[in-house]
DNA sequence: GTTTTTATCGTCAGGCAGACGACTATGATC
DNA sequence: GATCATAGTCGTCTGCCTGACGATAAAAAC
C-alpha cells in the first residue's frame, strides 16, 4: 500500500445498485426505476443509492431493497458483515454481491464507485413506487438490454449510466449460478411444484427442458427438494406435488444447461 | 437512487487490494507485503493501494500489480473499462475482480471501501521489494490463513485488516474456477507438460489426482491444450510432451474436484 | 543392468444425461 | 358423460464420461 497520506484521498462517492430479478409470466424480469432528476432524467435505471457513512455495503443494499420492493431485509446480526462470503437470505429472496463498477466517467457529476448487488426474488406484487413518487416497473431483461435502438417509445431507451452492463453481468451470474446451485428456488414461492421450478429454469435460460428428465434430476438430487405434503392444480392438468426448497445449496453434479 | 444532494457524500476512500496467487514447490502461495506504517505496522498484508482520481479500478489493480511484481500490466485500450466482464490478461497472468469489502470498521483510520482483485500468476522470480523498501514474500496460503494462533514468530501473525477474509475468498474463487475453466494454465509458464498442469490442480485443491485419468481428461478436451512441439524432462522420468494453453476458456464438462 | 520416476495408452464397470414411450389425473368442451 | 387438452410422473434404452487400475515406455539414479 502506498504511504499513508490523509490528503491523498480524492473524494469518492460510493453507491449500491441492485439487479433485482424475478420470473413473471415465463419471462426473466428486472426491477427498473425511472430517474426523476438529471443526469439521465426520465430514463430507466437500476434501483440504488448512496451508502451511508456508518453502513456496511450489504446493509445499504438491503435498505435499498426494502425501500424499493418492501422486502424485509434485516442485516445479519453479526456474521461477516464485510465480505461477500455466503449469500444472505431476505424473506426468501436471495441477495449477493455482484461486482463493482468504477469507470471514472460512469457518472458525469462526480467520481462514483458503485457496488452492485444481485437479488433473486419470487414473483412479487407490483413494485412499490417508493416515497418519492418515482415510478418503478418489472421489465423483461431482454427489453432492458436491447434498448439501444432509438425509438420514440421511452420504455425502450437504454438504461442510465452503465446499468445495462451491470444488468447483463447480473443476468449472466444468475444464469450460471442456477446450474450448480439450488438458487433457482429463490425465484419460487415457498411452496412450488416441479413444473414451476422447471419454468424458472426455462425462463432464465431461455430454453425448453424435457419435463421428464428435469423431474428425474431435481427429485433425484438429495436435499434439493423436500415434499411439502399437498398437491396443487394451479397450473392446470394433473395435480402436482408441492415441494419446499431443501437444505442443499450446491448441486453436484450440476444441472446441465443445453448448448444453445 | 436517493435524490441527489452533493453534500450527502460522506468521505469514502477507495482502495484496491490484490490476491496474487501462484504455485511454488507444489504449494499454493500468495503474495504478502509487510506494512511499514500504522495501523498494523509490521504485520503482513495483501498488496494494494489507493485508487487515483482518474483511474479505473482495474487500471489501479494493474498498476499495483506492476509495482509489486514487475508484471507488465497495461490496461486495455478501450474495452469495458468499468465492468468486471471478461478477464484481462497481463503478460500471461490472469486478473479479475474478486469482490468489494466495505465494513465501516475495517480500517480504523477512516471509511475505506476496498475492491479486491484476484491474480493468478505463474511461478515468478522473487517478489520485488518495491521502491519504498517494504519487504514482500510468497507465503503458502495455509500459513497466511491460520496465522491466528498467537506465536512469537511474526511470520505467523494474522494478516492486517480483513485481509485474511479477502484472501480466503480469493483462494475459494481460484479453487472453484479451475474446475470449469482452463484458468489453471495461468499458473503455468507458456509451455508446460500435462504433469505440471496436474500438479497445479493438486496444489490448488490440496488433493492427489490420478495421472492417467487427468491426462485423458485434459488431452481429450478440445481446445484446452495445443501441442507445442517439443518434449521436456525437467520433471524427471520419461520425457513429456510440451503444451500451450488452447483457446478454450470454459471446460465442459468440468474437471471434477474429488470429494474432500 | 536394475531400480526409480514420470508419462502415456488401455480396459472395464458404474453413473448420469438425452431421447422418448407410456400412463395418470385433473379441467375444459361438446 | 365422453372426449380432449394439459400437466405430471414413472420407465427404458443408449451413449458418454468418470473412477479405478493394469500395462508399457523412456528417461535418470544407483
Cα-flanking dihedrals φ and ψ of residue B231, to 5°? -135, 165
Cβ-based neighbours of A196, under 8 Å, separated by 6 or more: A188, A235
Which CATH topology does A190-245 take?
Arc Repressor Mutant, subunit A (1.10.10)
Q: What is the pLDDT of residues B21-59, one digit of tens each?
A: 999 999 999 999 999 888 899 899 999 999 999 999 999
Q: Is A213 within 8 Å of A231 (Cβ atoms)? A: no
Average pLDDT, chain B: 85
Tell me whether domains B11-176 and B190-245 share a fold: no
C1' of C19 to CA of B9 (Å): 59
> What pLDDT is stored for residue A169 in this prediction?
98
The residue-averaged pLDDT of A35-39 equals 87
- Percent of chain B having pLDDT more than 70? 80
Peptide bond before A253: cis, by omega within 30 degrees of 0? Answer: yes
**Minimal CA–CA distance to B72: which of B49, B50, B95?**
B95
Three-class SS of B54-94:
CCCHHHHHHHHHHHHHCCCCCCCCCCCCCCCCCCEEECCEE
DSSP string, B204-243: HHTS---HHHHHHHHHHSTTTEEEEEEEE-TTSSS-EEEE
Q: Does B132 touch chain A (CB under 8 A)?
A: yes
8 Å CB contact of B11 and A9: yes
Could you check: is the Cβ of residue B176 within 7 Å of any atom of nucleic acid strand C?
A: no
Summarize pLDDT for B115-171 with one digit per residue, the tens.
999 999 998 766 665 555 468 889 999 999 986 544 545 566 789 999 999 999 999
Homologous superfamily (CATH) of A11-176 is Nucleoside Triphosphate Pyrophosphohydrolase (3.90.79.10)
Q: Rounded mean pLDDT of A191-204? A: 97
| Nearest to A32, CA basis, from A17, A44, A22 | A44
Domain map of chain A by residue range?
A: 11-176, 190-245
Taking the Cβ of residue A113 and every Cβ of chain B, the question of whether any pair is shorter than 8 Å is answered with yes
pLDDT value at residue B91:
58
With CA atoms as reference, report the closest residue to B117 among B41, B56, B28: B56
Nucleotides of D under 7 A from a protein CB: 5-12, 17-23, 25-29
Q: What is the pLDDT of residue B1?
A: 46
Per residue in B181-210, pLDDT (tens digit) is: 999 999 999 999 999 999 999 999 999 999
* Residue A235: DSSP 8-state: T
Chosen for mutation from B12, B53, B168 (greatest number of chain A CBs closer than 10 Å) is: B12
Distance between CA atoms of A39 and A35, rounded to whole angstroms? 8
pLDDT above 90: percentage of residues in chain A: 66
- B209: how many CB neighbours lie within 10 A of its CB? 18
Task: Give the pLDDT confidence of A50-91 residue by residue, as tens digits.
Answer: 999 999 999 999 999 988 887 765 433 333 333 344 455 445
Shortest Cα distance, chain B CAs vs residue A211, angstroms: 22
3-state secondary structure of A250: strand
The number of beta carbons lying within 10 Å of the beta carbon of residue A205 is 20
B 25-44 near A (Cβ less than 8 A): 33, 35-37
Give the count of alpha carbons within 13 A of B239, CB side only.
6
Convert B73-89 to b/e letters by CB count within 10 Å (16 or more is b).
bebeeeeebbbbbebbe
Which of the four pLDDT bands, split at 50, 70 and 90, describes residue A195? very high
The answer to whether the Cβ–Cβ distance between B83 and A106 falls below 8 Å is no
More confident residue, A148 or B163: B163
Mean pLDDT comparison of A29-43, A75-89, A135-149, B116-130, highest-scoring range: A29-43
Q: Would you state the torsion angle of the CA atoms of residues A87, A90, A91, A94, taken in this order, to the nearest 10 degrees?
A: -40
Band of pLDDT at residue A1, cut at 50, 70 and 90? very low
pLDDT at B8 over 60: no
| CA of residue A212 to C1' of nucleotide C21, angstroms | 11
- Residue B74 clears pLDDT 50, i.e. is over it: no
Residue B3 has pLDDT above 60, yes or no: no
Averaged pLDDT, A229-254: 92
Whether residue A189 contacts residue A122, with contact meaning beta carbons closer than 8 Å, is answered with yes
Average pLDDT over residues A142-171: 81
Q: Per-residue confidence at A129, pLDDT binned at 50, 70, 90?
A: low
CA of A258 to C1' of D23 (A): 38
What DSSP state is assigned to residue A201? H
A4 touches chain B (CB under 8 A): yes
pLDDT number for residue A60? 95
Determine the 3-state secondary structure of A114 from DSSP.
strand
B193 touches strand C (CB under 7 A): yes
**Is there contact between A148 and strand C, defined as CB under 7 Å from any strand atom?**
no
Higher-pLDDT residue of B211, B156 = B211
pLDDT surpassing 60 at residue B15: yes
pLDDT of the residue at B71: 76
Interface of B with A in 237-256 (CB under 8 A): 254
Interface size, chain A vs chain B, as Cβ–Cβ contacts under 8 Å:
144
Lowest-confidence pick of A1-5, A193-197, B33-37, B221-225: A1-5
The pLDDT of residue A171 is above 70: yes
Q: Which CA distances in Å does B235 have to A118, B156, B191, B192?
A: 46, 32, 13, 11
Amino acid at each position: 500500500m502506498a504511504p499513508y497520506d490523509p490528503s491523498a484521498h480524492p473524494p469518492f462517492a460510493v453507491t449500491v445498485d441492485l439487479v433485482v430479478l424475478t420470473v413473471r409470466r415465463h419471462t426473466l424480469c428486472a426491477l427498473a426505476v425511472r430517474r426523476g432528476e438529471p443526469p439521465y432524467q426520465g430514463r430507466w435505471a437500476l434501483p440504488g443509492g448512496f451508502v451511508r457513512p456508518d453502513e456496511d455495503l450489504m446493509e445499504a443494499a438491503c435498505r435499498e431493497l426494502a425501500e424499493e420492493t418492501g422486502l424485509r431485509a434485516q442485516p445479519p446480526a453479526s456474521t461477516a458483515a464485510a465480505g461477500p462470503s455466503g449469500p444472505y437470505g431476505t424473506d426468501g429472496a436471495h441477495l449477493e454481491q455482484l461486482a463493482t463498477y468504477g469507470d471514472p466517467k460512469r457518472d458525469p457529476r462526480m467520481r462514483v464507485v458503485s457496488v452492485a448487488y444481485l437479488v433473486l426474488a419470487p414473483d412479487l406484487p407490483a413494485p412499490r413506487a417508493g416515497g418519492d413518487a418515482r415510478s418503478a416497473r418489472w421489465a423483461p431483461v431482454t427489453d432492458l438490454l436491447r434498448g439501444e435502438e432509438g425509438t420514440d417509445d421511452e420504455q425502450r431507451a437504454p438504461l442510465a449510466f452503465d446499468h445495462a452492463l451491470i444488468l447483463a453481468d447480473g443476468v449472466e451470474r444468475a444464469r450460471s449460478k442456477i446450474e450448480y446451485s439450488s438458487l433457482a428456488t429463490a425465484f419460487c414461492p415457498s411452496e412450488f411444484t416441479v413444473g414451476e421450478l422447471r419454468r424458472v429454469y426455462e425462463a432464465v435460460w431461455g430454453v425448453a427442458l424435457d419435463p421428464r428428465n428435469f423431474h428425474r434430476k431435481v427429485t433425484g438430487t438429495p436435499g434439493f427438494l423436500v415434499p411439502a405434503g399437498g398437491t396443487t392444480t394451479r397450473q392446470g392438468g394433473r395435480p402436482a406435488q408441492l415441494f419446499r426448497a431443501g437444505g442443499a445449496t450446491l448441486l453436484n453434479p450440476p444441472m446441465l444447461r443445453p448448448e444453445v
